[in-house]
Amino acid sequence: MKKIVISLGGSVLVPSLESNNISRYVSVLKNIAESCRIFIVVGGGGEARRYIGVARDLGAGEATADELGIMVTRLNASLLIAGLGDAAYPRVAENYTEAREFAQTKKIVVMGGITPAQTTDAVSAVLAESVGADLLINATSVNGIYSADPKKDAGAVKHERLTPQELLDIITGSRMNAGANIVLDIVAGKVIERSGIPLLVLDGRDPENLYRAIVEGACTGTIVSKESSNPLLP
């Protein structure tokens, strides 16, 4: 069975508690788990930003704000586990060793953030390396990686395919247009480059896009891989 790590942006899973998409994701993830082993890394979304904002207003430093963000990612991860029921390992993995241990049960493994000064994108890239994943998917609120921020620049072009080095160049800004929307953090970019694990960035606002990519091999986003072959094919 293929091993797939999915970075599920908080902005798509829990934009806010009231407008969460957890039940829509639960049914899609259960279907996907029938044909491959999946690991989910859940982001913080709007609630993380609210906590971080209040902490900053109270004078907290950035590391403290990050710790609060991590707690919220784990709360969101706990909600997803609650929704997945028996299909998921019942505890949020708090480090990569735990994630590997929990995976031995063959259940869906769910985790949130790990350490300050990074995002859950970095966690998902390290997790993919740690479990020897065949594919890393970043389900986010944009439908791929663009040459510039598509919300600000009408001329922004979507990259259908990038090499890991081209991705790193975009992230570090050496080939970036002003105002480009960076969908991954630098740690994630570096780990993707060194591991060589293919990455797919897709629009997670529709959970079905995950099913289409993983089960049907239909790619609607940006593929980042060293080889020109399609990593979605069996």
143 counts as binding ligand UTP under rule CB under 6 A: no
For the CB of residue 61, give the shortest distance to ligand UTP in the complex, in Å: 12
Q: Would you give the distance in Å from CA 14 to the centre of its chain?
A: 13
Report whether 73 belongs to an annotated binding site. no
Neighbour count for residue 160 (Cβ, 10 Å):
11
For the CB of residue 38, give the shortest distance to ligand UTP in the complex, in Å: 18
Nearer to ligand UTP, 70 or 168 (CB): 70
Report whether 234 belongs to an annotated binding site. no
The CB-side HSE value for 136 (13 A sphere, CA atoms) comes to 30
20 counts as binding ligand UTP under rule CB under 6 A: no
Report whether 221 belongs to an annotated binding site. no
73 counts as binding ligand UTP under rule CB under 6 A: yes
Residue carrying the six token digits 């979605």: 232
Continuous H helices in 58-119:
62-84, 96-103
* Among the listed residues 69, 144, 221, 231, the single contact to ligand UTP using CB under 6 A: 69
Neighbour count for residue 94 (Cβ, 10 Å):
15
47 counts as binding ligand UTP under rule CB under 6 A: no
Which range, of 97-105, 117-125, 176-184, 209-217, touches ligand UTP by CB under 6 A? Answer: 117-125
138 counts as binding ligand UTP under rule CB under 6 A: no
- Maximum separation of any 2 CA atoms in the chain, in Å: 51
Report whether 165 belongs to an annotated binding site. no
231 counts as binding ligand UTP under rule CB under 6 A: no
DSSP 8-state symbol, 222: E
Report whether 120 belongs to an annotated binding site. yes
Taking the C-alpha atoms of 180, 174, 200 and 6 in order, what is their torsion angle to the nearest 10 degrees? -80
Q: Which residue is nearest to ligand UTP (CB)?
A: 69
* Among the listed residues 25, 33, 37, 44, the single contact to ligand UTP using CB under 6 A: 44
Structure tokens at 133: 């994943």
Angstrom distances, CA of residue 124 to CA of 56, 136, 151: 26, 8, 26
SS3 142: coil
Neighbour count for residue 34 (Cβ, 10 Å):
9
Report whether 10 belongs to an annotated binding site. yes
* Among the listed residues 22, 28, 29, 45, the single contact to ligand UTP using CB under 6 A: 45
Binding residues: 10-11, 44-45, 49, 66, 114-120, 140, 146, 149
* Binding positions for ligand UTP, rule: CB under 6 A: 9-11, 43-45, 48, 52, 66, 69-70, 73, 113-120, 123
